[in-house]
Structure 1
């Protein structure tokens, strides 16, 4: 068993990853890499482009998202995000993952700042009794 965390959100990737970067990556949702899926996967976009030789399928990855995992335990999430960032140097990452545990006070985020995955916990501030903060 273990403590379950619900994770939503994504990290947009700029510039988008090319097929060369995606195809052999363990983050690819497309087999054969997709056969051994990690907790984080790339969202792959497909566009058909007309060429002189006929239609060409162009695949790029625009975001890093969570895999579909029924009962996810986020113990290694921060390290998993950092490993994905390290796997694709030369790209910028924006967005965040919102994490909510089983207890109502267990909320946190994963962000990427200057190439580092960081866990951010909220600060709860109570105003003074007269309403001033």
Structure 2
């Protein structure tokens, strides 16, 4: 047992990833690599399915609409920013919006992963004390 971090949130992907992009990615949630994709990644793509009627029958269209956390009991968040950056670099024609909120076991261990100018960035909050009676 070690220090763990709780991660919530997601990055929406615009335009959504195509099935060919999804299945070639280590962030694929299902398929050749088992239910949760590659063992060495902690994030996965959320895949939405829609049915389209065609002349040959019903076509199931799968698109990757968001990057989310896998369900991990004791997550350490050691390379979370690097994994988000890996996905961004892999799919340069897409925009990633949103954030991952991270909270460690210590009450002061709060941070976020955001995307700024195409780069995954760790953001830590600033604590500001209000002035007491205007004294500095």
Kept in 2, the 8 Å contact 1:23–1:33? The answer is: no
Structure 1 residue corresponding to 2:118, chosen from 82, 101, 115: 115
TM-score, normalised on structure 1? 0.93
1:65 aligned residue: 68
1:6 aligns with 2:9: no
The structure whose residues are more often helix, as a share, is: 1
1:75 aligned residue: 78
Structure 1 residue ranges, 4+ long, deviating more than 4 angstroms after superposition: none
CA RMSD of aligned residues (A): 1.7
Residue 130 (structure 1) shift: 3.1
Find the aligned partners of 2:16 and 2:134 in 1 and give their Cα distance.
47
1:52 aligned residue: 55
- Aligned partner of residue 36 in structure 1, secondary structure: coil
Find the aligned partners of 2:117 and 2:7 in 1 and give their Cα distance.
22
- Aligned partner of residue 33 in structure 1, secondary structure: coil
Q: Which runs of 5+ in 1 are unaligned?
A: none
Kept in 1, the 8 Å contact 2:27–2:38? The answer is: no
Q: Which runs of 5+ in 2 are unaligned?
A: none
Change (3 A) 1:128 1:23: same
